[in-house]
Amino acid sequence: MIPSGPGPDGHSRCSWCLATDRYIHYHDHEWGFPVADDRRLFEKISLEAFQSGLSWYTILQKRDHFRAAFAQFDFHQVARFTDTDVQRLLQDAGIVRHRGKIEAVIHNAARAVEMVAQEGSLAAFFWRFPPATPGQGTALLAQTAESQALAKALKQRGWKFVGPTTVYAFMQSMGMVNDHAPDCVTRAAVEQMKKDFQPPR
């Protein structure tokens, strides 16, 4: 069972978000809500790659810096970054200065441009991998058959830093999976939005 606890307003929430107001705001307004905007999807999968080995709170604290550093995650612009940009980013204390992850985001931006040309949008591609059963918020999972399939499909297209665990966190973040705890106050809001959401084709 995914643990939950009372928030500052007395409502039950997923316990992972209760440490800070920043976490609560992200949990209440972003995590699990379905996303179809390509730039936001590229941002989410890029930040999940940066999060590997770190806490999500570290990434959330630095998110505005990441956005400024990576052209608001406009992947058409990021795909044109050069080694000069890599060196600039390695000197930027506002982000995670990991050369492999920085280079992967730039590399993946070029793959994203290719995907849009081939598939119409990133959203149309990603939303082909919904879970066979919706998240119930009852299991602590690191990866699933669907995240393994999406990770494999991305790697076949040349994407980097997209292992099945990173991809599952991305699927949670973008709303493909609703892993809010069963008694979490935000779970019902996510479910309602998912009912009204039309996955891109």
Q: Is 30 a catalytic residue?
A: no
> So what's the pLDDT on residue 186?
96
> So what's the pLDDT on residue 136?
58
In terms of Cβ atoms closer than 10 Å to its own Cβ (0-12, 13-18, 19+), residue 188 is exposed
Q: Annotated binding residue at 184?
A: yes
> So what's the pLDDT on residue 165?
95
What integer is the mean pLDDT of 21-34?
96
Q: Annotated binding residue at 17?
A: no
Domains of the chain: 4-196 (1.10.340.30)
Q: Is 26 a catalytic residue?
A: yes
What integer is the mean pLDDT of 75-95?
98
* H or E segment and range at residue 12: strand 12-14
Catalogue the long-range contacts made by 115-124 (C-beta closer than 8 Å, 24 or more residues apart). 115/157, 116/38, 120/200, 121/38, 121/200, 122/38, 122/41, 122/42, 123/35, 123/36, 123/37, 123/38, 123/41, 123/199, 123/200, 124/200, 124/201
Percent of the chain's residues with pLDDT above 90: 86
pLDDT digits 0-9 by tens, 101-160: 999 999 999 999 999 999 999 999 999 998 876 655 556 678 899 999 999 999 999 999
- Which residues does 131 contact at the CB level (< 8 Å), separation at least 6? 144, 146, 171, 176, 177
Using the predicted structure, report yes or no on whether residue 1 has a pLDDT greater than 80.
Answer: no
From the list 23, 31, 43, 56, the catalytic residue is 56
Q: Annotated binding residue at 14?
A: yes
Percent of the chain's residues with pLDDT above 70: 96
59/141: higher pLDDT: 59
Please give the Cα distance from 17 to 21 (Å, whole number): 8
> So what's the pLDDT on residue 3?
84
Using the predicted structure, report yes or no on whether residue 31 has a pLDDT greater than 70.
Answer: yes
> So what's the pLDDT on residue 135?
58
> So what's the pLDDT on residue 109?
98
Q: Is 127 a catalytic residue?
A: no
**Region of 49 on the Ramachandran plot (φ > 0 left; ψ -120 to 50 alpha; else beta):** alpha
Token pair for 156 = 């076949």
From the list 23, 43, 48, 159, the catalytic residue is 48
What pTM, to 2 d.p., does this model score?
0.94
